[in-house]
Structure 1
Amino acid sequence: MSLGTKFNPKDVCNWCHKEQGRDNLRVCGGCRMVRYCSRNCQRGAWKTHKFSCSQNQQLVASLREDPVQESFNSLLTRWLTVWKPFLVMHGPIAYDLANSPRNKMQTHCVFFDIESRPNEKQVAKAFTMLRGGCIPKTAWADRLRADGNGDFADNFLEDDRGQDTATLCFWVTRHDSDDPTSGLVRQLYFSMRDGGNFYRKWGKEESRQIVEGWAEAAAFTIEEGNHTKLLKPSSGLKGLDASG
């Protein structure tokens, strides 16, 4: 995707990450949550999608019996759709690619802990960011296991999309519930056509300083609900491609 254009995740193939247009994509017949542009892409994705497909079907079935949780899940989906262009542009900053090995995106992920806000009617302000940063993927998997999601953690580590794909992970809680099972986890993947070179070309000290303030700046921007705000000029981001 060119970040200068309006992005709709429903227009993008979930495997090759190319923007094809919704009419040219086939929805997964199982979970009906991801789309592919061809049978080859669907077959290519099946090894890693098989587990999440089953999990998504179970989630949808369970949500039908819990209107409150179903509404919470729907709100999160809409919030992520609104914020996705911002997240795609500014999430990778946390990798500090100018000071990192070439395979940093393959071994690490960027995490966001977010929580719903009470009585908020604007979708863009529906969640607040509590904390975030860049951690090894194994650390995210450990967190999933500690929450009782061992199979999901194993699948996450097995889903190796190479060194040119960024992974954003969201740990989502409800402000009105102390029940840990009411929380949700989402993972957003997107490939970079330039392999992240835009970020690697930043000065090492410049990148380091920006990364130090990244979480605070991202949290402030999300708190404002200003999903069109740029944390750093992004005129060089034309080489990015994104999908969920």
Structure 2
Amino acid sequence: MSDFCSNCMKVLGRDNLRTCGQCRFVRYCSRGCQRAAWSTHKTTATIETLSKWINAWRMSLTSWSLWALAPNASEKDKLSTHCFTLRLEDLAEVGVLPRTRIYELLQEEDVAQHQIDNFVGDVRGDHTVQIVVFSPGFLRFVYFSIRDIADRQAKELDEVKIRIRDGVPLALQQSVEAGNLLGHKAYLTFIAAQAIADGVA
């Protein structure tokens, strides 16, 4: 949160600023400044809808992102160099992308420069999963740490885990399109049944 008014840019300290009731992020020194900024801020203020969607899907996104990122011995720094990404507009991008590609996407989507700078400067290391959710005009980051990362990185991926990882984009897309918050729970059973049928497991 900032210590300055997002409209007139006066530095007044957090306690002397009012928070936008929509996004709960931007701050103003007065109702006048808030009204003056509303025409440009109203689009980003509706990020509340995206936040509600992310909160509803949080557990599912956690599972999907772990399976897609599949941290293992051959890529110890994968979590610090890649993010699980969802472009919600038409689910055009679902999957694991390098941070450099996400940087390009953010520039293509005309995301505010300060948000791009925050993304570039926020490198959390190889023990934190980074999820990027965006659609035109909206951008959110979700982070969570993995406690047993050393155990995961000590193992190579077997054929079943590779199938799990590679199937995530399509399976997640189908879950989102169907509004199935619990699609991740059936996914592993589906992959296991496929592997058994193919004689892999």
TM-score using structure 2 length: 0.66
RMSD: 3.4
Q: How much has 1:220 moved relative to structure 2?
A: 0.6
1:94 matched to 2:68: yes
Alpha-carbon distance between aligned partners in 1 of 2:126 and 2:72, rounded to the nearest angstrom = 15
What per-residue deviation string (whole Å, max 9, x for no partner) do you get for residues 72-125 of structure 1?
Answer: 42211111110001111221211132464111101111110102xxxxxxxxxx
- Judge conservation of contact 1:131–1:219 (CA < 8 Å) in 2: no
Query: For 2:149, what is the secondary structure of its paired residue?
Result: coil
- Judge conservation of contact 1:97–1:200 (CA < 8 Å) in 2: no
- Judge conservation of contact 1:106–1:161 (CA < 8 Å) in 2: yes
Alpha-carbon distance between aligned partners in 2 of 1:144 and 1:94, rounded to the nearest angstrom = 21
Q: Quick one: percent identity of the two aligned structures?
A: 23
Alignment equivalent of 2:130, drawn from 155, 167, 170? 167
Stretches of structure 1 that go unaligned for 5 or more consecutive residues are: 1-27, 32-55, 116-127, 174-182, 234-244
- Judge conservation of contact 2:85–2:94 (CA < 8 Å) in 1: yes
Alpha-carbon distance between aligned partners in 1 of 2:132 and 2:81, rounded to the nearest angstrom = 13
Alpha-carbon distance between aligned partners in 2 of 1:167 and 1:132, rounded to the nearest angstrom = 13
Equivalent position of 1:222 in the other structure: 176
Alpha-carbon distance between aligned partners in 2 of 1:199 and 1:228, rounded to the nearest angstrom = 27
Equivalent position of 1:129 in the other structure: 91
Change (3 A) 1:70 1:137: closer
1:146 matched to 2:120: no
Stretches of structure 2 that go unaligned for 5 or more consecutive residues are: 5-24, 28-33, 190-201
Equivalent position of 1:206 in the other structure: 160
Q: How much has 1:135 moved relative to structure 2?
A: 1.3
Corresponding residue pairs, total: 161
Change (3 A) 1:101 1:129: same
Structure 2 matches for 1:64-83, cutoff 5 A?
64-65=38-39, 69=43, 72-83=46-57
Alpha-carbon distance between aligned partners in 1 of 2:169 and 2:154, rounded to the nearest angstrom = 19
- Judge conservation of contact 2:71–2:152 (CA < 8 Å) in 1: no
Alpha-carbon distance between aligned partners in 2 of 1:192 and 1:93, rounded to the nearest angstrom = 13
Query: For 2:160, what is the secondary structure of its paired residue?
Result: helix
Larger radius of gyration: 2
Alpha-carbon distance between aligned partners in 2 of 1:129 and 1:86, rounded to the nearest angstrom = 16
